[in-house]
Structure 1
C-alpha cells in the first residue's frame, strides 16, 4: 500500500486501486501511489489504475494522473484506466486528456 492507495505488482501489470474522492485532499496520496507503481512498471508491464471505487475526481486528481503519464512516457510505459464512472470519463473528455490514456471498460 502506498500512501492510502493500494499498489499491487503482478507479472503483467501494476495496479493502483483508487477510491473515494480524488481531489486536493487526496491528490498527493494518488501521486505517491502512482510513483510507486511506476517504479515497478515497464513497457511490458503497464500501470492499471482502477477507478471502480472512485466517486469523484477534480483537477487535482487529474493533475496527479497527468504527472504520472508524463513520467511513464519517458520509459515507454502505458497507464491504463479502468472502471471510470461518468463524471471521471467526462472530466477526461472535456479537458482533452482522454487520448493520453488507454481506457478499459
Structure 2
C-alpha cells in the first residue's frame, strides 16, 4: 500500500473525499410500482446494499421499480452488475427496473456495456414522473 507524507493511504490529507455511502429510498408506492431515489456512489462497497433495497421494494411494493438515479455520483462495473441483478429480479417477478435521471457518467457506462435498453434508460437525462397514489406509510 502506498502512503503519502502524512502516512494516510494514498496521501489523502488535505484532499476533499467524496462521500462513500449510497442509498435507495422509496419515494412513492402505488399499485405494484415504486419510485425509488438512489443516491451516492455505486461501487464494490455499496452496490450490493442498494441492489438489496431495490429487490426489497420489488418484493414489498410490486415488481415495477422506477429508479431516479440523478443523484448517483459514481457507478463502476460492480455497481452496474448490481443494477443488472436487481433488474433480473424485477423481471422474474413480472416487472422491470427502469432508470431515470441518468447522468453523463452512468449514461457512458450503459452505452459502453450496451445495457441501457435493459433499464429502459434513455440516452439523455430525463426526470422521473411521480407515480400516482399515496406515499408509503401515508
Under TM normalisation by the shorter chain, which class is it? 0.7 to 0.9
* Residue 6 in structure 1 maps to residue 17 in structure 2: no
Matches of 2:48 and 2:119, distance apart in 1 = 20
Aligned residues: 100
Query: Where do 5+ consecutive residues of structure 1 fail to align?
Result: none
TM-score (norm 2): 0.66
Aligned to 1:37: 57
Aligned-pair CA distance for 1:9: 4.4
Aligned to 2:9: none
Q: Which has the larger radius of gyration?
A: 2
TM-score (norm 1): 0.84
More helix by share: 1
Query: What's the RMSD between the two structures over aligned residues?
Result: 1.7
Secondary structure at 1:25's aligned position in 2?
coil
Query: Where do 5+ consecutive residues of structure 2 fail to align?
Result: 1-21, 127-138
User: 4+ runs of 1 displaced by more than 2 Å?
Assistant: none
| Comparing 78-87 and 10-19, the one that deviates more | 10-19
* Residue 91 in structure 1 maps to residue 96 in structure 2: no
Q: Deviations over 1:33-63 (max 9, x none)?
A: 1111111223xxx201111111110011101
Matches of 2:112 and 2:45, distance apart in 1 = 22
